[in-house]
Structure 1
Amino acid sequence: MVIINAECEEVWTMADRGLWSYKEIAAHIKVQPDTVRSYRKHGLLPPPDVTEGGRPFWYPHTIELWVSRRPGSRR
């Protein structure tokens, strides 16, 4: 998702806004984005903090907390 600020002509992505997509979550936990999608499909991922255009996004803190509480987590 790209947001354009018309006044400043800046282009902001969701990552620039501090939100993570499947791609950023996957990189954080060292899996493929499809694995993260599967986690969500099976109810293993927390609900998204934001949904834009039907696409889910999470704040890093939400995911870091989820990671710390996952079974087998050593963090």
Structure 2
Amino acid sequence: MIARSLNELANMLAEQGKYDEARPLYERALAIFEKAHGKSHLDIAMVLTNFAGMLNDSGAHDKARSMYERAEAIFNEVEEE
């Protein structure tokens, strides 16, 4: 529940262009979900997709691409199960 709230708050901050404030919230949400679920779970893919969108909007395209690719791998892995 806390990780989802952090993700949502980060989304709101990112929409306002407050990327420096959003980034640590995405990082914290990822850490919580990874601790709870391991490295491959839909919740992690959701945060990665949101985080990547923020990074892309802020101009960090290479980092965003890497996160999008990780999220895609998780979605594909979960789909196969």
Q: TM-score, normalised by structure 2?
A: 0.22
Relative contact order higher in (CA < 8 Å, ≥ 6 apart): 2
Higher helix share: 2
Higher strand share: 1
Q: TM-score, normalised by structure 1?
A: 0.23
